[in-house]
Structure 1
Amino acid sequence: MTPVFHMIADGPRPVAPFSHAVEIDGWVVLTGQMPTDPAAPDAPLPEGIVAQTRAVMRNLEIVLKGVGLDLSHIVQCRCYLTEFERDYSTFNDTYAAHFPTDRLPARTTVGVTALAVGALVEIDCLARRPER
């Protein structure tokens, strides 16, 4: 199988050299998304972990939609928080609201010292295209 490299036309502006998603054999790897606004990429980031988590999830939805998928196709997420102790519980509540309680993706969450663009949160994902 040859990988397909996706750049979503109305997707978030990349903050580094990467594709929004790479697909191979039904698996779709989504690059970590930041809490930027695709319509105003130079605008200040939303304030606080709740607003930033919602923005990241919106950006993941945009990328997923661009490859014909949605949040229900996510099987695994990696989450990065710059203020882990302070934000972990609130982040969990905001993140969980995007998934049915009986279909939560596998997940790893780690605290990091810094993220691009001064973000509090970044999330990358692995999604699976349904069998045809």
Structure 2
Amino acid sequence: MNDGVHAGAAPAPVGHYPHARRVGDLLFLSGIGPRDPATDAIPAGIEAQTRAVFANVRAVLDASGARWEDLVDVTVYLTDMAGDFKAYNAVWAEFFPDPSIAPCRTTLGITALPTPISIELKCVAVVKE
């Protein structure tokens, strides 16, 4: 199986690609940012953007038949590692309070993202049927 997913409850992709693609039991999410799905507005501040990007990831997971708990690997891109990492990491700990069952995570500091956002996530989940 090789099914592309377009989630109506998530913001539209900023390019010509699906929100996610399922291959076997794995679900690969395209980079997802914090834009509001209804207005395309970008929340102010890293805490609000982190919460918004988590909500958008959840929307794609839901549309794909996966759950938040099915995430196994997350790559995080921050445009201000020095200024935003601590606050972002605190929000992460709220959503994943038990590190022994949290997804694996890599966080990268980068100079820019395709839109004026501070955070983007690239995720892999396991879809159980």
Q: State the TM bucket, normalised to the shorter chain.
A: over 0.9
Provide the secondary structure at the position in 1 that maps to 2:31: strand
Deviation at 1:9, TM superposition (A): 2.4
* Runs (5+) with no aligned partner, structure 1: none
Q: CA deviation digits over 1:13-50, x for unaligned, max 9?
A: 11111100000111000111111000112x3x111110
> What is the aligned length?
128
Query: Secondary structure of the residue that 2:12 maps to in structure 1?
Result: coil
Partner Cα distance (1:74, 1:46) in 2: 24
* Partner Cα distance (1:10, 1:87) in 2: 27
Deviation of residue 67 (structure 1)?
Answer: 0.9
From 88, 107, 113, the counterpart of 2:85: 88
The structure 1 residue matched to 2:52, chosen from 41, 50, 55, is 55
What residue number does 2:18 align with? 19
Cα shift at 1:118 = 0.7
Q: Structure 1 stretches (4+) deviating beyond 3 angstroms?
A: none
The TM-score normalised by the length of structure 1 is 0.92
Q: What residue in structure 2 maps to residue 114 of structure 1?
A: 112
Give the aligned CA root-mean-square deviation in angstroms: 1.1
SS in 1 for 2:115: helix
Query: How many Å separate the matches in 2 of 1:95 and 1:115?
Result: 20
Q: CA deviation at 1:73?
A: 0.2
**Could you say which residue in structure 2 is the equivalent of 1:7?**
6
TM-score (norm: length of structure 2) = 0.94
